[in-house]
Structure 1
Amino acid sequence: MEVNEQGLLVFKSTGWQKFEVLYPDEPKYNVTGADSQVVTVQLAGAESVYAEPGTMMYMSENIASNTECGGCFQRCCSGESCCTMVMENTQEELGFVGLTPNFPSKVIPVDLSSDNVKGSLVCKAGSYMAHYGECEIETDFDFNPCKACCGGAGFVRQGLKGTGTVFLNSTGTIMQKVLAEGEKIVVDTNCVLAWAEEVEMELQSAGGCCAMALGGEGVFNTVFVGPGLVMVTSMNPHQYQVAVAPEPK
């Protein structure tokens, strides 16, 4: 298929980008596959990777697995398991761990230390899969009932803070946009995935009464106000589950 240059220019003008893994100069991980992806993390001696239970696919023999159960209440409230798997390289030679999500989805690495995130990322509950380096998994509460019920992220979100690299997981096509200071973007509430904490989240009506009732977009849309990173997905895990579920007989 020939590339439509005019079409590319139209897409470029939106400021959105299809998410693609941009590896650092000295990459410690590799993401493989088109869907149901696998991320392989390389670990030097005494280094560890932290992951959701059930995500380990393979690892070298010099990796020791343990479990941490701190912050169970917060983790359960934000859609995660009570415990975290810790896989540590116990020898000096390089080791590796292969991780894959617990449901058919893509792996989304995010460098928390990047200028677009600035050490703090808020994401939809259940989005976290793993991390290495410094990262604290916190519970981010939204006490605004209107935003919590209608903004697409719920009352309890995940707060990821630190300087390490986190691996999110989600279905659909992942898109990202870096908002400038004061720049606004309107997003369907079902498409919200993650955003830098510095980005402000607001709501606006999806249109008039007829549009809200019959337009298929619900009553509200989510509005993000920059500066910072915003990530969205074309089909969230709940939508995917409904789409592939067998019809009742």
Structure 2
Amino acid sequence: MQHQIEFGPSFAWLKVQLAPNEMIQAEAGAMVRQTPGLQMDTRLNAGRNAGFFAKVKAFFAAIARKFLGGETMFVNDFHGPQGGEVVLAPSLSGHIMHQQLDGNRTVFIQASAYLASTGSVDTKLRFGGLKSMFGGEGLVLQECKGTGDVFINSYGGITEVPVNGTFVVDTGHIVAFDGNMNFKLKGVSGGLKSFFFSGEGLVCEFSGQGRVWIQSRNLGALVGWLSPHLR
């Protein structure tokens, strides 16, 4: 599979050239255009399961992804006997990041930042206990592991931050991080006054050695700015 990320970092899209019988899985609604010979199969966003009970489990997993992770309930698989081209674009204006997994590393991403994946990459929704449920700005995580390519979208540009020790970032700016990193959520320093009136909410403190990818814009801040104008 060959791919190109064009028009970044503000309005990126992903152009993928599939070889015969290669397949890419993408979020529902992400397709911009495709070669006529490509086939698109739609399924629940919960893995390729067979059997009645597996399908019931997949259905509830897809609901959890939609309402807790901000993902779509369905994904589309693009493939074809002759191969072809498909172009994918996220809903928000921003960049697209490519990560290649070799079976030995895990990447956690904001669930809403998932765009597409290839190969045997397995994606599972992870809450990380109460620390993620009370993230306040969508810190519901998607664990990506296996072998293949993962394409991750952001709101705004993406910056890679190497961490060797500790690193603190607002939860609304987190795009992804290496699976070996430890993290915990906490309020901003400055006590209750800062927590309620600073507009900052919760932050995530990473520790260990690895990489964290952050986005230059915060979707929660955009929603907060727009809300008074929509009344």
Q: TM-score range by the shorter chain?
A: 0.7 to 0.9
- With over 3 angstroms needed to count, the CA separation of the structure-2 counterparts of 1:235 and 1:226, relative to structure 1, is same
Q: Does 1:167 align with 2:167?
A: no
Show the counterpart of 2:3: 29
Q: Deviations over 1:68-93 (max 9, x none)?
A: 224333233232222210100222xx
How many Å separate the matches in 2 of 1:104 and 1:246? 22
In structure 2, how many angstroms separate the alpha carbons of the residues matched to 1:192 and 1:62?
38
Q: How does 1:34-183 map to 2 (within 5 A)?
A: 34=8, 35-69=10-44, 70=46, 71-77=58-64, 78-91=69-82, 94-113=83-102, 118-143=104-129, 145-146=130-131, 148-150=133-135, 152-154=137-139, 156-180=140-164, 183=165
What SS does the aligned partner of 2:145 have? strand
Larger radius of gyration: 1
2:79 is paired with a residue whose SS is strand
Q: Which structure shows the bigger proportion of residues in helix conformation? A: 2
Q: Distance in 2 between matches of 1:146 and 1:152?
A: 12
Give 2:49's aligned residue.
Answer: none
**How far off its partner does 1:65 sit?**
1.0
How many residue pairs get aligned? The number is 213
Please give the secondary structure, in 2, of the residue aligned with 1:134.
coil
Shift in CA distance, 60/151, structure 1 to aligned 2, threshold 3 Å: same
Q: How does 1:215-226 map to 2 (within 5 A)?
A: 215-218=198-201, 220-226=202-208
Measured after TM superposition, the shift of residue 113 of structure 1 is: 3.0
Asked if the contact 1:38–1:100 (Cα under 8 Å) also holds between the matched residues in 2, the reply is yes
Q: Name structure 1 gaps, 5 residues minimum.
A: 1-26
Q: Deviations over 1:41-71 (max 9, x none)?
A: 1111110111011111111222111112243
62-71 vs 37-46, greater mean Cα deviation = 62-71
Tell me the percent identity: 25
Q: Can you give the 5+ residue segments of structure 2 that lack an aligned partner in the other structure?
A: 47-57
Aligned mates of 2:220, 2:195 — CA distance in 1: 21
1:197 counterpart residue number: 179
Distance 2:217 2:187 in 1: 21
CA contact 1:184–1:223 (8 Å) conserved in 2: yes
1:198 CA displacement: 1.0
Q: Do the aligned partners of 2:14 and 2:87 also contact (CA within 8 Å) in 1?
A: yes
SS in structure 2 of the partner of residue 112 of structure 1: strand
Q: What displacement does 1:238 show?
A: 3.2
Judging changes above 3 Å, is the alpha-carbon distance between structure 1 residues 90 and 146 closer, same or farther for their aligned structure 2 residues?
A: closer
Secondary structure, aligned partner of 2:134: helix
**2:172 and 2:219 in contact (8 A); partners too:** no
Contact persistence 1:176–1:230 (CA under 8 A): yes
Change (3 A) 1:59 1:246: farther
The more displaced of 45-54 and 145-154 is: 145-154
Q: Per-residue displacement from partner, 1:188-223 (whole Å, max 9, x unpaired)?
A: 2221221122110023442232544544433x4311
1:160: how far off? 1.3
Structure 1 residues 241 and 86, CA gap change in structure 2 (3 angstroms)? same
Indicate if the aligned counterparts of 1:191 and 1:233 stay in contact, CA closer than 8 A: yes
- Normalised TM-score (structure 2): 0.80
Name the CA distance, whole Å, in 1 between partners of 2:73 and 2:199: 36
Shift of the alpha carbon at 1:245? 6.0
Q: Show CA shifts across 1:151-194 (max 9, x none).
A: 7554x4211111211111221221112323xx111112221221
